[in-house]
Amino acid sequence: MKKATIAAALMLAALPLAAQQTGVRVTARNAADNSLAFDAAITGYGTFTIRLAVADIRNHAGDDALTVTVTTGNEGGEILSIAPQDAARPVTADFSWDWINGTLDATPDLGFIYRLPIAAGKSTTVRSLTPAEAGMMRDNIADFRMWEFAMERNEPVFAIRKGTVIHVEGYDAENGQAGGGTIIVEHADGTQARYASLRSGSALVAPGDTIFPDTPIALAGELRSGGYGVQVGLYRYASNRNTALYPHMMAQTEFINPLFMTATGNGLLTDGQRATAKTTKKLLDAESGRTSFWERVFGR
């Protein structure tokens, strides 16, 4: 958790962020009416949830400490203002903050149908991963579920749903590095998809891009289990319930088992299943606002 007094926060505001670094900086200022305002400066894409803890509040009629949680886009701006008790004197306080790049306690659309991350007509063997196999043994997670899809070397990996790219591992526009490895996409319902084991340097998208289910995002990479493919997990950020092990964390990663469209129908995947990818115009246009005459009339 970041901590600062008003003076220290103002000094921090003058320091430049590294290129492509995602982060949140909160600063405090006294307004003309002597109220104490807190501003969030955000670098990155997608949604951000900020938890601001204010302590030892001086010249304020209310409590001398408070904690607020705010969800905002990457535009940031003022997130809290504290009015003075004595208008002739400024409000002062100490404060700290932490944040996540996402929406806290979003309500996922559990009936949404996702596409398989492989080309339509292609078949894959699906494998259910353990946290250890996904390299997440030490993470604060709940209901873990990630799927591994076997693919051919350098085969394109497709987005499973429309969303905004919020992270591309190794991406550096200034030095011409496309990145790869892991890509994270935020969806309209606040869920996020994590694509891992992508080939390094093969990313076909950049942070901030809007992608669709027909968008290739990178190439299949080498899997820890052998062969090539991609690992995909769908999750949301939920309020931390594991406070004994992670007392200072705002959120934990709560995984969701999505419904996928396959050649044999829509449904949950099973470990060891052989699945063939299928797409329809309705699936590809989902959430895009694009509809054909047949969809408008017949719903397909």
For 182-217, the pLDDT digits (tens) are 999 999 999 999 999 999 999 999 999 999 999 999
Quick one: residue 229, left, alpha or beta (phi over 0 = left, psi -120 to 50 = alpha)? left
What is the average pLDDT across 162-186?
A: 93
Rounded to 5°, angle at Cα 268 from 140 and 236: 30
Residue 178's alpha-carbon distances to 27, 117, 170, 192, in angstroms, are 33, 20, 7, 21
pLDDT value for 295: 52
**pTM of this prediction?**
0.88
Residue 177 — very low, low, confident or very high, per pLDDT cuts 50/70/90? Answer: confident
Q: Report residue 296's pLDDT band, with 50, 70 and 90 as the boundaries.
A: very low
Judged against a pLDDT cut of 90, whether residue 132 lies above it is answered with: yes
The yes-or-no verdict on residue 5 having pLDDT over 80 is: no
Any residues with CB less than 8 A from the CB of 89 and at least 6 apart, and which? 34, 59
Specify the pLDDT at position 128: 97
Q: Is the pLDDT of residue 15 over 80?
A: no
Percent of the chain with pLDDT over 70: 89
**Chain centroid, CA 166 distance in Å:** 6
Residue 176 confidence (pLDDT):
80
Neighbouring residues of 55: CB distance < 8 A, sequence distance ≥ 6: 64, 65, 93, 94, 95, 96
Q: What is the pLDDT of residue 64?
A: 93
Domains of the chain from N-terminus onward: 2-100 (2.60.40), 113-298 (2.70.70.10)
CA-nearest of 106, 105, 2, 103 to 49 is 103
Give me the pLDDT at residue 161, please: 98
| pLDDT confidence tier of residue 18, bands split at 50, 70 and 90 | very low
pLDDT given for residue 174 in this prediction: 83
Q: What's the rounded Cα separation, in Å, for the pair 253 and 171?
A: 23
| Residues 6 or more apart in contact with residue 201 via CB below 8 angstroms | 170, 177, 178, 179, 180
**How confident is the model at residue 14, as a pLDDT?**
31
The proportion of the chain whose per-residue pLDDT surpasses 90, expressed as a percent, equals: 83
Per the model's pLDDT, the better-predicted residue between 177 and 191 turns out to be 191
Q: How far apart are CA 239 and CA 250, in angstroms?
A: 6
Task: Give mean pLDDT, residues 72-84.
Answer: 96
Over residues 263-293, the pLDDT tens digits come to: 999 999 999 999 999 999 999 998 876 554 4
Tell me how far apart the alpha carbons of residues 36 and 111 are, in angstroms, rounded to a whole number. 44
How far apart are alpha carbons 89 and 215 in whole angstroms?
56
Q: Please compute the mean of the pLDDT values over residues 69-84 and round it to a whole number.
A: 96
Res 153 pLDDT > 80: yes
**Of the candidates 61, 60, 64, the residue with the CA atom closest to the CA atom of residue 90:** 60
Could you write out the three-class secondary structure of 90-127?
CCEEEEEEEEECCCECCCCCCCCEEECCCCCCCEEEEE
Place of tokens 């499973």: 160
